[in-house]
Amino acid sequence: MTILVTGGAGFIGSNFILDWFAHGTEPIVNLDKLSYAGNPENLRPLKDSPSYELVHGDVGNRKLVRSLLDKHAPRAIVHFAAESHVDRSIHGPDEFIQTNILGTFSLLEEARDWLEKNAHRRDGFRFVHISTDEVFGSLAPSAPRFTESTPYAPNSPYAASKASADHLVRSYHHTYGLPTLTVNCSNNYGPYQFPEKLIPLMILNAIANKPLPIYGEGSNVRDWLYVLDHCSAIRQVLSQGRIGETYNVGGHNQKTNLEVVNAICALLDEARPHNRIRHSTLITFVKDRPGHDKRYAMDFSKIAIQLGWAPSETFDSGLRKTVAWYLDNPEWAVRVTSGTYRQWIDKNYGNRGQA
């Protein structure tokens, strides 16, 4: 049987595919638009694998999706494809509405239609939708962690687009009986993350002795999840999750942005002492972005109790692995940060390099 993955050339998607093949050989078809953050080189180890196929296309192309369903008859769709950067959604929300909402709608419609024509496949089929903790809004400093029953309160166009997609997925299960599952994850970090996000941006800027821009006072709190722990949770949900359920996945690693950047600096001081500076001296505080959520934190007791999942990495161990990966793969960063990405950063942030 085959798995259809959408957005599998992006950060989490490519890690999921590599992790998938590390645990087995079930074929994967990867449908990816290959936008600025989709990088086929992430999956270079699978280039000659007969079990892997990359299809360049958009989830909103219903004719293409229909042809892939008919050709491969997948037992599951794992839906990563999304625009995912909050700052980009503030500067240009159109793409977020198009991809995250309308793209998810198109994929759901094609999956529903295909299962209606292939009813014998319904019992074994799963539609796994990958979402975010940002749909829940912002937590007060002393508030309990988000649970699966926390009301949605998105505060950015990105978060609103993902919340809309979540609601569509839920509705297709309850209205049409589509066998769906949703995973809401906290902030991921690890190899292959596009350097518009905090951790890779700070690593690469620090290596180059560039400023390390932090919004506001750096007091915003995130719950950090090593990407391969997230991948293992998705595999667990796909194999054992209860149809129609949502599962929160987090790392129980609440850190302020300033704590994260200082930890990166300490690791780089250790790894690159020849730079002759303390990397923390590069930290620069910049004007906060609009609607910046103060705190996220995930309660993952449901997936722990029902499916036996827990993260394997601490923040310290995961960050050490992440820093080492970027130090060992400088050519990857050079290739992905040129062209359209650099133009966008220069247009919207000037010389600050903020993301």
Catalytic residues: 133-134, 158
Question: Which residues does residue 126 pair with via DSSP β-bridges, in sequence order?
Answer: 76
Q: How far is CA 67 from CA 74, 115, 199, in A?
A: 12, 13, 38
Instruction: Tell me the DSSP string of 242-282.
Output: PTT-EEEE--S-EEEHHHHHHHHHHHHHHH-GGG-S-GGGG
What single-letter DSSP state applies at residue 195?
A: T
| SS3 per-residue string spanning 119-132 | HHHCCCCEEEEEEE
Distance CA 136, CA 115 (A): 31
Distance CA 311, CA 289 (A): 31
Distance CA 248, CA 44 (A): 31
